[in-house]
Amino acid sequence: MPKPSPPPGQKDSPQTPTNQMESAESNQSIDPKAMEALQQMGKYLASMKTLMFNARIFTEVVLDNKQKLLIGGKVMYMATPPDQLRVDLTTDSITRQFFHSDNKFTMLAPRNGYFAEIEASQPTPEVLTQAAKDYGIEIPFADLLEWGRKPDAWAGIKEGFLVNSPMVNGQRTKHWAFRSENLDWEIWIKVGDQPLPLRISTVNTRDPSKPRFLATLKWMEAKPGATGKYKPATEKLKKIPLKKAETNKQMEGAQ
C-alpha cells in the first residue's frame, strides 16, 4: 500500500509515485488528510451558487486492436444546483451541447443541425445518471455536482494519499491520489481558502486497457445574467428521437 503522507520534516518535499510504492509496507490505506481535503473541497463547492469553469481535456480512446488514441477537447461548464446545467463539449471529432433546465434534458449537435430532448424533472445529478444508464450519454464532470452535496459521494474510496504539491496554471495545489472500485483517480486541489479542483485524472480499471481521462480546469466567477445561458437554442435545429442504446453512440450520424 502506498505510504499516504510525507515523512516528518519533509512536508515541503515533493514525493514521486516511486517513493510511494517503495513505502508499500505501510498498512494505512487512507490518509485521513486525504479525506479531509476532499471534504473541504466538497464543502466549498456546495457553498457556490453557480459553478462555472472552462476545461482542457484529453481522453484515451482504445481501438479494437488495443491501440490507444489521445483525443483532445475543451469544455465550458456552468451549473446552478439543483436543476440547471449547461455543458459545451468540443473535441477533435465532435461538438455537443448538453442542457438541463425547465424540466428537460436536451442534447444538441449544433454544427449538424440536430437535437434530442427528454422530460427530466429530477435534480441534475439524477438526470445525468439516467442519461448515462438509459442512453449511454456520458457527460464530463458528471460527479462534480455530488461533491459536498451527496453524503456518500466518496464512500467507495479504498486508498488515498498525498503525491506532492505542484503548481497548476500558476497556482499551488495538493496532488492527491485515490483508488475506488474500478477507478484510479487523482485530483489537484488549490491550496488556500478556495479549495477548488484544478486538475482531475481518472483511469478506468474495469477496462483491461485502462484508458485515462485528464482535465485541467480554469474557474470563473458567474456574472449577472449568466443563468440565461441555460436555455438551448433549438429553433433552427431538427428534432430527432433519443433512442436507448448499449453504448454511447447517440446522434452518431450527426458527427
Reported as a single tens digit per residue, the pLDDT across 243-255 is: 886 644 444 444 4
pTM of the model: 0.83
Q: Cα-flanking dihedrals φ and ψ of residue 137, to 5°?
A: -95, 110
Q: What single-letter DSSP state applies at residue 30?
A: B
d(CA 75, CA 88): 6
- Which residues partner with 27 through β-bridges? none
Q: Taking the chain, what is the end-to-end CA distance rounded to the nearest angstrom?
A: 44
Q: Is the pLDDT of residue 101 over 70?
A: yes
Measured CA to CA, the distance from residue 100 to residue 123 in angstroms comes to 9
pLDDT at 28 over 90: no
Cα–Cα dist 197/173, whole Å: 9
Residues 19 and 146: beta-carbon distance below 8 Å: no
